[in-house]
Chains A and B, each alone.
Chain A
Amino acid sequence: MSDVEHAGWAVGGPGSRLRRRRSPLLGAIALVLLVGGTAAVALGIVRLASEAGPAQERILARGTVAALEGPPVAPAAFVDQAGEPATVWLNLGGASNVRETIVAGTECELARSDGSRDRIRGSRQGTSVATDHFETIGDVTLGAGRNVVTCRHVPFGRVTRRGRLRQTHAFVVERGSPGDGLGGLWLVIGGSVALVLGVPAAMRWRAGTLEDVSRP
């Protein structure tokens, strides 16, 4: 003989005056939030993975960052309309701490056709975006006509750790701001919020509410 006899749920059996009711509306809301949230998060991650970084069709120019204490390299030149934002990306791989040093040790200069110039410094970015192969150096507003971007590595960090700055690296100038490829992030955030709301909704639905069926 077992120590205990299992008798099922306490309510809802013969003679029970309580019934558990589950709101179909709450169940549907919970389902939509959970399924929608999961889908949004998954889609957001896929979009982030595929869209972050410079897109081929938006690249305006390609160039090379001159090595620290190395010879100058040819600038990247292109023609564009005035007022358009552009982002300079460094083509880079490797460990994140090394990448950070290289980005911080990179400086670019944009020369517009009207003679105005802007400096873009990797160490002075408000926010930066990094993908598997690219890191932003900064963004800038283009001028009308011919724009010329020149990049070089500058001293940064301890002298013993500047080896990678003495090498050249490729860079690209992409039309748009660094956040243009991060639309998926909003999906991830929205999906997460839906999941956070969906879990308690599902739990509340599962617990249901007890109704006294003996009352008219």
Chain B
Amino acid sequence: MSRARKLVEGAFKKLDEASAKADAAAVAKLSPAERERYDSWVERTAALNAGVSEAELGDPRLVGKVLGGPAGEVVHGVVKAPKQRDVLEDPAAWEEQRRSERAARDEVRAPYLAADRRPVRITRVATRGKSQLREIADYLASSGLAGRPELVYGAYRVPDLISPSMLGSERSGIVEWDIVHAAGEALPRAETPPALTLAAKDRLVVRSPGDPAPLDEDLALHLLAGAGIGPDQTLAIARDVAITHRDTGGDDTSSRIEALVNGVHILATRPVPAVGAPVDLPEGPPDGVVVDVLQWDAIAVAVHPVRQHRAPLPSPFPYLPLTPQELLTAYLEIVGVSPSDAYSAQVTHHQPFNLMGRTSAKRGVRRTGGGPDLPSADGKPRKRMAGGHHVVIAYRDAPAYVEGRARFDAYAEGELKAHLRRGLNLRVAVPRPQNTLMRTIDRVGDVVDFFSGDMGVEDGFVPPRYCWPPR
């Protein structure tokens, strides 16, 4: 081999190595959801190279997506959405149809249910936004559930916006809470449970840039573990979700109705000590505790396309759950989670989520009004904008639950044709804060925006919760 050829080959080898290094660095920077998607494509490519046919692998538009099956094909544009005729408008007929479809789904679900499952009841109450936590604590006491935490799976603020066209913030408006429990009969009044709220903007956890940001439930669970409070003494770990009207400037996206997580509430029968100095929290929940997060919004896009309306019935995809509460119930019943092991059961949000995205059947139309008045917890029908992005369940693990989760996965993938843990993007790496120069440039930009009339346009950066700024 000539010397020149050796040199060229050596140079190519070096180039290949450098390219592989750059690729690895780029992959390492991907968010968990991006990484999942990347891996899905790598896997698909490898399968194709191994001789698996395209037909066996399915449509590439469904790679890495939550929904597969008929709903996934429609949502992701593989096939055209079927024309929906005869959508029921009459509330009574709608309810009858809902019951009939639900009964059919319950039948499909029955073989997957845990043998020793506990009943799951969801009681919905109305509160005022300003005093919601105090009110829910009082309700837990007056209903007696606070005295029987072993019957409570969890409680959460219903992530729907009620009366979206009303002026003012949610502080004076109506905010509903769901209490997920297994109590079958009336209980005697109990003491009002103490509540602790951790603010997402506070630096409670020490993290370095690149470390995974803590999940709300991780932090709450570690605090409870530190205080020696088990799930049988815990009533709820509930994210503090606020829905706000925001004017972000710009043209078409000037108005946002945004669901934001401002922190987390912990309700237990014993007081939970507040966090003093920032703690060096391990990644994930404490040992022996499961925090399972499921995608709901991906299903909602298929079964409840317009937030202000009732979900269209007959459902275009009757095999999918119609509400996040149905999915939550299905999880608890299939895994067989006992309320005495449960810390948290929620339908909630994670990242800032714009509810305006699906507010009309017409593409590109965004509205706050419209839709029928729907039942509220206090019995008064009101306009409603259905929210909810994730379903979160936290519980003490047990061998039976491992089997239960396998059953749930089989149910989700087999019956719902869905991969509900895909693309969750949890515990993302903490970004590096801007240096002084960039901050100065940003401030100058803000001043320029102020004088150019672009005031109010936001950069969209949302710092990770409980750990910003990093060390």
A11-33: which have CB < 8 Å to B? 11, 13-18, 20
Cross-chain contact B124 with A4 (CB below 8 angstroms): yes
Q: Is A5 an interface residue (CB 8 A)?
A: yes
Which residues of chain A have C-beta atoms less than 8 A from B359's C-beta?
Answer: none
Q: Is B141 an interface residue (CB 8 A)?
A: yes
Q: Which residues of B lie under 8 Å from residue A10 when comparing CB positions?
A: 125-127, 135-136, 138-139, 177
A191-216 interface (Cβ within 8 A of B) = 199-200, 203-204, 206-208, 210
A3 to B, closest residue via Cβ = B325
Of B122, B126, B167, B189, the residue contacting A199 (CB under 8 A) is B167
Contact B128 A16 (CB under 8 A): no
Q: Is B439 an interface residue (CB 8 A)?
A: no
Q: Is B29 an interface residue (CB 8 A)?
A: no
Q: Are A5 and B124 in contact (CB under 8 A)?
A: yes
* Number of A residues with CB within 8 Å of any CB on chain B: 25
A contact residues around B168 at 8 Å (CB): 199-200, 203
Verify B128–A6 contact, CB threshold 8 A: no
- CB B264 to nearest CB in A, in angstroms, measures 19
- Is B121 an interface residue, CB under 8 A from the partner? yes
Q: How far is the CA of A7 from the CA of B177 in the complex (A)?
A: 10
Given known A17-B138, A210-B135, contact A4–B178 (CB-CB < 8 A): yes
A113 CB, nearest partner CB in chain B, Å: 53
Quick one: CB contact mask for B128-146 with A, threshold 8 Å, 1 for yes? Answer: 1111001110110111100
Q: Is the CB of B375 within 8 A of A6?
A: yes
B-side interface size class: 35 or more
Specify which of B129, B138, B379 is in contact with A16 (CB 8 Å cutoff): B138
Question: Roughly how many angstroms separate A14 CA and B142 CA in the complex, as a whole number?
Answer: 7
Known contacts A15-B189, A17-B192, A210-B131: A9-B121 contact under CB 8 Å? no
In the complex, what distance in Å separates the CA atom of A4 from the CA atom of B171? 24
Mask: chain B, 308-328; 1 = CB below 8 Å from A; 0 = not: 000000000000001101100
Asked if A8 CB lies within 8 Å of chain B CBs, one says: yes
Q: Which B residues touch A6, using CB under 8 A?
A: 124, 375-379
Residue numbers in B under 8 Å from A1 (CB-CB): 99, 102
CB of B100, distance to nearest CB on chain A (Å)? 12
Mask of B152-180 contacts with A, CB within 8 angstroms, 1/0: 00000000000000011001100001100
On whether the beta carbons of B122 and A4 are closer than 8 Å, the reply is yes
Contact between B171 and A207, CB atoms less than 8 A apart:
yes
Q: Are B329 and A3 in contact (CB under 8 A)?
A: yes
- Within 8 Å CB of B375, what residues of A? 6
Quick check: is B254 within 8 A (CB to CB) of the other chain? no
CB A13 to nearest CB in B, in angstroms, measures: 6
B329: chain A residues within 8 A (beta carbon):
3
Minimum CB–CB distance from A143 to chain B (whole Å) comes to 48
- Judged by DSSP, the binding face of B is mixed
Closest chain-B Cβ to A199's Cβ sits at a distance in Å of: 6
Chain A CB within 8 A of B123 CB: yes
Give the complex CA separation of A115 and B138 in angstroms.
Answer: 87
The answer to whether B123 touches A7 (Cβ under 8 A) is yes
A-B contacts counted at CB < 8 A amount to 89
User: B125 contacts A9, CB within 8 Å?
Assistant: yes
- How far does the Cβ of A9 sit from chain B's closest Cβ, in whole Å? 5
Q: Which chain B residues (84-142) contact chain A, with CB distance < 8 Å?
A: 99, 102, 121-131, 134-136, 138-139, 141-142
Task: Evaluate contact between A5 and B121: CB separation under 8 angstroms.
Answer: yes
CB of B262 to closest CB in A, whole Å:
18
Q: Which of A7, A14, A207 contacts B130 (CB under 8 A)?
A: A207
Partner of B141, one of A4, A5, A15: A15
Please report the C-alpha to C-alpha distance between residue A5 and residue B138 in the assembled complex, in whole angstroms.
18
- A7 and B135 contacting across the interface, CB-CB below 8 Å: no
> By the criterion CB–CB under 8 Å, are A7 and B138 in contact?
no
* B residues near A203, Cβ cutoff 8 Å: 167-168, 171-172
Residue of A nearest to B187 (CB): A15
Nearest to B375 among chain A residues (CB) is: A6
Task: Report yes or no: B142 in contact with A16, Cβ–Cβ below 8 A.
Answer: yes
Chain B residue contacts of A210, Cβ below 8 A: 131, 134-135
A67 → B minimal CB distance (Å): 41
Quote the shortest CB–CB distance from A16 to chain B (angstroms). Answer: 4
Q: Is the CB of A18 within 8 A of B128?
A: no
Q: Which residues of B are found within 8 Å of A199, using beta-carbon distances?
A: 167-168
Q: Do A8 and B377 touch across chains, with their CB atoms under 8 A apart?
A: yes
Cβ-defined contact, A5 with B128, below 8 A: no
Contact between A11 and B379 (Cβ–Cβ < 8 Å)?
Answer: no
Nearest residue in A to B376 (C-beta to C-beta)? Answer: A6
Given contacts A4-B178, A6-B376, A200-B168, contact A16 B122 (CB under 8 A): no
**In this complex, what residue of A is CB-closest to B128?**
A207
Contacts of B323 in A (CB 8 A): 3
Please indicate the chain B residues that have their CB under 8 angstroms from the CB of A206 in the complex. 172
B326-365: which have CB < 8 Å to A? 326, 329
Contacts of B126 in A (CB 8 A): 8-10
Q: Roughly how many angstroms separate A1 CA and B375 CA in the complex, as a whole number?
A: 15
Contacts beyond the supplied A6-B379, A9-B127: 15 A-B pairs with Cβ under 8 Å: A5-B122, A6-B378, A11-B139, A13-B142, A14-B142, A15-B143, A15-B144, A16-B138, A16-B139, A16-B141, A18-B134, A199-B167, A207-B128, A207-B129, A210-B131
Chain B interface residues toward A at CB < 8 A: 99, 102, 121-131, 134-136, 138-139, 141-144, 167-168, 171-172, 177-178, 189, 192, 322-323, 325-326, 329, 375-379
A-B contact pairs, 9 of them (CB 8 A): A4-B123, A9-B378, A10-B127, A10-B135, A10-B139, A13-B142, A15-B144, A17-B192, A18-B134
- List the 8 closest pairs (A to B, CB-CB), nearest first: A15-B142, A207-B172, A203-B172, A10-B139, A3-B325, A10-B135, A10-B125, A15-B189
